[in-house]
Amino acid sequence: MSRLSIGLVHELITESLAAWHVAGIVEQTSDCAIVIGAKREIRIEPAQAGSMFRWTVTIDGRTRPAISLLAVLRQVRGALDPGYAVSRVRVAVSPVVPS
Amino acid sequence: MDTELIPVSVLTGFLGSGKTTILSHLLRQPEFSRTAVVINEFGEVALDHELIETSEDSVVALTTGCLCCKVRTDLTQTLQDLLRRRDEGACTQFNRIVIETSGLADPAPILHALMIDTALAGRLVLGNVVTTVDAVAGEVTLEREAISRKQVAVADRIVLSKLDVTSGVEASLRSRLTALNPRAPTLCATYGRIESDNLFGAAFHDPKTRVLEVSSSLAEAPEHTHSDHDAEIKSFTVVRVEPIQAVALTLFLETLAEHCGADLLRLKGIVNVAESPQQPAVVHGVQHVFHAPAWLSHWPSDDRTSRMVFITRSIPRQWVEVLLDAISAEVTDVAGNH
């Protein structure tokens, strides 16, 4: 059973728009997609089973895959927030657990 | 009762500029073995005192607010309590006190309080004011945050920190520091390491001179209240009982850095990483820059919850909470599918 419910994604997108100060209405459809009604029309849905990607993001009719929620957020914000420029995190090389 | 005057040094610097790291390093030096530490944090949950590894029983955390504001009296009370415990032999016979201010504190009222409180005057003497400046984000911070300029302006020593994550110090940053405070020598710290003799070991300034300096500083900000800090600056703590997977933590930090940028003034946390249950990770982030997690050798207390303190400008807590939940859930799903 998936721990990541579409309801949680809906909440994440809603809160993200608020955090970015971007206007828009976020709705959950009956076929488990998230639709954002803003200056551009955006649809987020789980990728087909067997795909190497987890999500597809359709912006104004153009569909692109996204490998994670982080990638989804990047695409959505890039479409809605003209002032957004990805600022890559700077992390020194290190093991993710103690060596 | 020991009548020797005990120096009180103030370690200040903007959020995330490396104060706790430097203090942790200093307290491991033999000459600092008899040091009492007063730590002031601007946040719901005090973490700094847990991040400082010391065997001493003389570390005091003040969490009721920012030292320079409403709890100035708390500071003098705390110092009096420390002196009483020392006199009664209830704690180490410390010969030095270091006050680590919150990153948002104006040090001038603190110095003022230390000098004018008659109950303290006969026992304590003001030592050096050391101000840490982030060599990476320092210039932007000085530009944006008036309080950081004040912190530099009152310093006896300026410490450029985080030289381990930058190839050098911009000449423009050095110029800015010199313009703000031409008197204070600028020292450098790498991974928090610095020669302690250069920091607190110097002779103390003439108290009369210091009073004048503080008075001058106070004149620039006659009424200091919390509204002076920045109404949009908020502090909140994200707590998780369940361990967080290492990959989820990494993605979470990466997302914060990408989407918050300069509005993430500070993130400091202790995290129970699922893959490392006995050794918690300590995470630090300032604006776009996140340090690689540092691993403690053991939990500092029985509390095994992950606690991440955020100091932000206009970043909603709810977004941070749901972001961590969603990323954790996705990582769990991916792990389950493999």
What value, to the nearest 5°, has the Cα angle with vertex B104 and ends B71 and B195? 105
Burial (0-12, 13-18, 19+ Cβ within 10 Å), B30: exposed
Q: What is the pTM of this model?
A: 0.64
User: Residue B123 belongs to a domain with what CATH number?
Assistant: 3.40.50.300
Q: Report which DSSP code applies to B240.
A: E
The rounded distance, in Å, linking the Cα atoms of A58 and B78 is 59
If asked whether residues B220 and B268 sit together in one domain, one would say no
Q: Does residue B244 fall inside a structural domain?
A: yes
* A34 located within any domain: yes
Domain end: B208, B228, B248, which one? B228
In this structure, are B212 and B331 located in the same domain? no
Helix (H) or strand (E) holding B78: helix B72-87
Supply the range of the domain harboring residue B333: 233-337
Distance CA B293, CA A18 (A): 29
Q: Are B135 and B162 in contact (CB under 8 A)?
A: yes
Q: Are residues B172 and B281 in the same domain?
A: no
pLDDT of B182: 80
In a domain, A85, yes or no: no
Q: Quick one: B61 and B142 in the same domain?
A: yes
CA distance A43 to chain B (A): 18
Indicate whether B216 and B249 sit together in one domain.
no
A48 touches chain B (CB under 8 A): no
- The predicted structure's pLDDT at residue B116: 66
Whether A99 is in a domain gets the answer no
Give yes or no: residues B195 and B266 share one domain: no
- Torsion angle (degrees, nearest 10) of CA B19, B24, B26, B32: 120
Contacting A with CB below 8 Å, chain B residues are 164-165, 246-247, 249-251, 253-255, 257-259, 261, 273, 275-276, 279, 288-293, 295, 314-316, 318-319, 322-323, 325-330, 332-334
A69 touches chain B (CB under 8 A): yes
3-class secondary structure per residue, B32-59: HCCEEEEEECCCCCCCHHHHCCCCCCCE
Of B228, B243, B263, the one marking the end of a domain is B228
**DSSP-derived secondary structure letter, B167:** S
Give me the CATH number covering residue B282: 3.30.1220.10
Counting as low any pLDDT under 50, the low residues of chain A are 90-93
Q: Which residues of chain B are under the pLDDT cut of 70?
A: 1-3, 41-73, 112, 115-116, 118, 121, 196-198, 201-233, 286-289, 291-292, 337-338
DSSP-derived pairing of the beta strands B35-40 and B59-62: parallel
Q: Which residues contact B78 (CB under 8 A, 6 or more apart)?
A: B38, B60, B62
Claim to verify: residue B98 and residue B54 sit in the same structural domain: yes
Q: What is the DSSP letter of B68?
A: T
Domain boundary among B171, B203, B228: B228
User: Which residue from B230, B215, B239, B261 is spatially nearest to B306, judged by alpha carbons?
Assistant: B239
Residue A14 lies in a domain: yes
Task: Answer whether residue A66 is part of any domain.
Answer: yes
Q: Does residue B191 form part of some domain?
A: yes
For A44, how many CA atoms within 13 A lie in the half-sphere containing its CB?
A: 32
Task: Decide the pairing of beta strands A34-37 and A41-46.
Answer: antiparallel
Structural domain for A33, as ranges: 6-80
Q: Are residues B249 and B224 in the same domain?
A: no
Chains A and B form CB pairs within 8 A to the count of 102
How is chain A classified by DSSP, letter by letter? Answer: --SS-HHHHHHHHHHHHHHHT---EEEE-TTS-EEEESSSEEEEEEPPTT-S-SEEEEETTEEEEESSHHHHHHHHHHHH-TT------B-----SS--
pLDDT of residue B3: 61
Cα B172 from chain centre = 25
Residue A90: inside a domain, yes or no?
no
Among the listed residues B314, B318, B276, the one whose alpha carbon sits nearest the alpha carbon of residue B297: B276
- The DSSP letter of residue B273 is B
How many structural domains does chain B have? Answer: 2
Residue B1 maps to a domain: no
Residue B198 CA neighbour count, 13 Å, CB half = 14
Q: How far is B135 from chain A (nearest CA, A)?
A: 14
Q: Which amino acid is at B262?
A: A
- Burial bucket for residue B172 (CB in 10 Å: 0-12, 13-18, 19+): exposed
Best mutation target, B259, B275, B276, B310, to test chain A (most A CBs within 10 A): B259
Does one domain contain both B220 and B238?
no
Same domain, yes or no: B142 and B223: yes
Note whether B196 and B292 are same-domain residues: no
Residues B246 and B129 in one domain: no
What is the rounded CA–CA span in Å between residue A47 and residue A33? 10
